[in-house]
Amino acid sequence: MGPFVAGVIALCVLLLLARGYLRTSARTLASGMRFSGGLILALVTLALAITGRIGFAFLTATGAWYLLLGSEPPWGNPYRAYRSGPGGAEGNRQSGGGGSPPRANSMSRSEALKVLGLEEGATEEQVRSAHRRLILQTHPDKGGTSYLAAKINEAKDVLIGRR
């Protein structure tokens, strides 16, 4: 009977909160919902950490941090290397990348061929054509992801000798 009572109490609290939300402006409502969601995710994070599910705890902690503070958490974004700007893949290309050593996780030639769907011995024109076709399909402006676009760009660079 304990879980039933807790459920009824939680439902009553939610109804009281909902009553207060109905009297507010849309902006205040959105802010309150964001805060409530962040608070719920923070509690879920705590429960996951206590039960030893650290991987899931980091996921929910990231969401809670973003909802509560509106910024990227200090433990960062695993896709940061594929963003444009200083330190990102595009930033290295713009600065010439002259003296910088290749990244430890740089793509091999065979991986680059697979990404672009080409076979060994492809000409530079075939590489450029495959790159153009794929980037048009997977560009973030077309609904793709910046990660995929970065991988396609990296594959082209590897195959035409920029890396």
- What's the confidence (pLDDT) of residue 79? 53
Up-side HSE of residue 101: CA atoms within 13 Å toward CB? 3
- What's the confidence (pLDDT) of residue 89? 45
Query: Does residue 48 sit within a domain?
Result: yes
- Are residues 110 and 163 located together in one domain of the fold? yes
103-137: pLDDT as tens digits: 556 788 888 888 888 888 888 899 899 989 888 88
Instruction: Give the pTM.
Output: 0.38
- Are residues 113 and 163 located together in one domain of the fold? yes
Residue 88 reports pLDDT greater than 50: no
24-66: pLDDT as tens digits: 777 777 777 788 888 888 899 899 889 888 888 888 888 888 8
- What's the confidence (pLDDT) of residue 21? 65
Query: Does residue 10 sit within a domain?
Result: no
Query: Does residue 2 sit within a domain?
Result: no
> How many domains, the chain?
2
More confident residue, 141 or 159: 159
Query: Does residue 82 sit within a domain?
Result: no
Distances (CA, A) of 152 to 27, 28, 95, 134: 40, 42, 20, 7
Q: Are 60 and 44 in contact (CB under 8 A)?
A: yes
- Are residues 118 and 163 located together in one domain of the fold? yes
> In this structure, how many other beta carbons lie within 10 angstroms of the beta carbon of residue 47?
13
- Are residues 114 and 65 located together in one domain of the fold? no
- What's the confidence (pLDDT) of residue 77? 58
CATH code, domain carrying 159: 1.10.287.110
* Domain around 122: 106-163
DSSP state of 71: S
Say which range, 35-39, 92-96, 138-142, has the weakest mean pLDDT.
92-96
Local confidence band at 76 (pLDDT 50, 70, 90 cut-offs):
low
Query: Does residue 36 sit within a domain?
Result: yes
Query: Does residue 79 sit within a domain?
Result: no
Indicate the SS3 state at residue 163: coil
